[in-house]
Amino acid sequence: MTYAQGPVGDERLFASNGSGRPAVRPNIVFILADDLGWADLGCFGSTEIATPNLDRLAAGGVRFTHAYAGSSWCSATRISLYTGRYPGRIPAGVEEPLRTRVDGMGIPHDHPTLASLLVDGGYVTAMFGKWHCGWLPWYSPMKAGYQRFFGCLDGAIDYFEHIGTLGKADLWENDTPVEEVGYFTWLISDRAAEFVAAARDEPFYLQLNYTAPHWPWEGPGDAEAGARIKADFEAQDEPDAYPLFDMHDGSLAKYGELVESMDTGIGRVLDALDAAGKTDDTIVCFCSDNGGERWSRNWPFVGEKGDLTEGGIRVPFILRWPAAIDRNQVSTEPNITMDWTATLLDAAGTGPAATHPLDGPSLLPWLVENDTYPEHDLYWRITSQSSLRRGRFKYVRDRRPRPVLGNWPLHHGEYDLLYDVTVDGREAADLSPHHPDLVTDLRAAVEALDAQMVPYPPDLPGLPRQARAGAPAISQAD
């Protein structure tokens, strides 16, 4: 379990150098991959996929081996990053993932966001790539504090044809639909690099959201695959078809192409920071929006995107800030998406709105001032499970039937499960019988938090559908 626990090679366990907050407010670049497995980067143990740019990013800062996404679903994690709060605090955060295209299913316009708070603090903001927090005319990055946007609103996009999950064009410049030829990963990487290179006096916040390595399974040379997907969809009579969800295609090798293409694009952005002389004073964060799916490698964890096992929520996380944090380090402290919202706001010299307190602490005093790590609970909720990590223990309230081995014997009902995920990333040894008092405490904490969240509607969205009289469009599950 070397990669799950501590230093590898020349790495050392993280220790703040105690230099304090730099006098210069940092630029911020936050990069999200889509459905990337925990072990799909070279610096996290992959021997099959080459990621030299992300490996050099990790070598220049800190690898976090106990980092978690705010949800096991992509839209909910994005909501948690942009709001700094549990996604279940708003209706859009309880769809798994967000699919219903109506007013009320997005980040509310009066809700402060990471971007809007940074704008208030004098930052220039931009997002390139996937939004997936509500659809126009009601929602877009431009309505949530981002001053510039190029990318897609939907949860997935064809890399060449630029159609979304309902088979319609989904490429936008700000709030205007546009057409542009090119591989989506390259297009957003180039826009991001150009944004970084632009001369400006104000600090900037760049949100770079790749759809890679999310399906459809198209590498840079697979334009004909995109054309086939679009043609097949247009030839069908049934409007509820799944244009992008190509279950009959893909491979481990193709998945590797998607990851490697993303790594190349990130390299362009890192090179632009170097060329502009902005590397030292820029915080760069990289992570996935949830655990991996289908072709990904989540080893040594079990599960995948969509459940609260470690494989569904543990994500590779990298932080680099040369002006404040030493290179070549690794941290095993547990953290979650909302912590980074608080940390970035703190680093920028601003903070949350009094009306919307954050659900995570700032890690900045620990990172740069040598304070002790702020111990805190990490919490998740999806329709079938709730979970809370406290220290080395992870509690899971599982509402799904559970077999003991294979499908035998199958037990129905709710389960109170307890794992020590510092030694049991496979979540195979249920320790609840050995710690009944701890289970009682953690269950009470989960129930108290569950009660604060928006209740799940009786029927979550079903199959994808186009808009029709009396019913909104619903995207496919992504």
What gap in Å lies between CA 301 and CA 316, rounded to an integer? Answer: 12
DSSP 127-142: EEEE--S--TTT--GG
pLDDT at 412: 78
pLDDT at 410: 77
What gap in Å lies between CA 232 and CA 161, rounded to an integer? Answer: 13
With CA atoms as reference, report the closest residue to 464 among 75, 154, 99. 99
pLDDT at 4: 45
pLDDT band at 7 (very low <50, low <70, confident <90, very high): confident
Which has more confidence, 52 or 237?
Answer: 52
What DSSP designation does 112 have? -
What is the Cα 351 distance to its own chain's centre?
Answer: 22
User: Is residue 141 over pLDDT 60?
Assistant: yes
User: Is residue 2 over pLDDT 60?
Assistant: no
User: Is residue 56 over pLDDT 60?
Assistant: yes
User: Is residue 438 over pLDDT 50?
Assistant: yes
Contact 46, 258 (CB under 8 A): no
Which has more confidence, 349 or 249?
Answer: 349
Percent of the chain at pLDDT > 90 equals 83
* Backbone φ, ψ for residue 445 (5° rounding): -65, -40
Please write the tens of the pLDDT for every residue from 13-55.
999 999 999 999 999 999 999 999 999 999 999 999 999 999 9
- The pairing of beta strand 335-336 with beta strand 67-68: parallel
| pLDDT, average across residues 120-146 | 98
What DSSP designation does 114 have? H
pLDDT at 3: 46
- The pairing of beta strand 385-390 with beta strand 408-411: unpaired
pLDDT band at 463 (very low <50, low <70, confident <90, very high): low
Extract the tokens encoding 422. 């510092």
Please write the tens of the pLDDT for every residue from 93-130.
999 999 999 999 999 999 999 999 999 999 999 999 99
What gap in Å lies between CA 423 and CA 430, rounded to an integer? Answer: 12
Mean pLDDT (the chain) is 93
Low-confidence winner among 57-71, 188-202, 340-354, 459-473 (lowest mean pLDDT): 459-473
pLDDT at 240: 59
Percent of the chain at pLDDT > 70 equals 96
User: Is residue 188 over pLDDT 90?
Assistant: yes
Please write the tens of the pLDDT for every residue from 359-392.
999 999 999 999 999 999 999 999 999 999 999 9
Please write the tens of the pLDDT for every residue from 391-427.
999 999 998 887 777 777 777 778 999 999 999 999 9
User: Is residue 237 over pLDDT 80?
Assistant: no
CB burial readout 11-47, b (16+ within 10 A) else e: beebebeeeebeeebbbbbbbbbbbbbbbbbbbbbbe
Which has more confidence, 179 or 233?
Answer: 179
User: Is residue 63 over pLDDT 50?
Assistant: yes
* Backbone φ, ψ for residue 337 (5° rounding): -45, -50
pLDDT at 238: 66
The helix or strand, by DSSP H or E, that contains position 381, with its residue range, turns out to be strand 378-382
What DSSP designation does 67 have? E
| pLDDT, average across residues 258-287 | 98
User: Is residue 461 over pLDDT 90?
Assistant: no
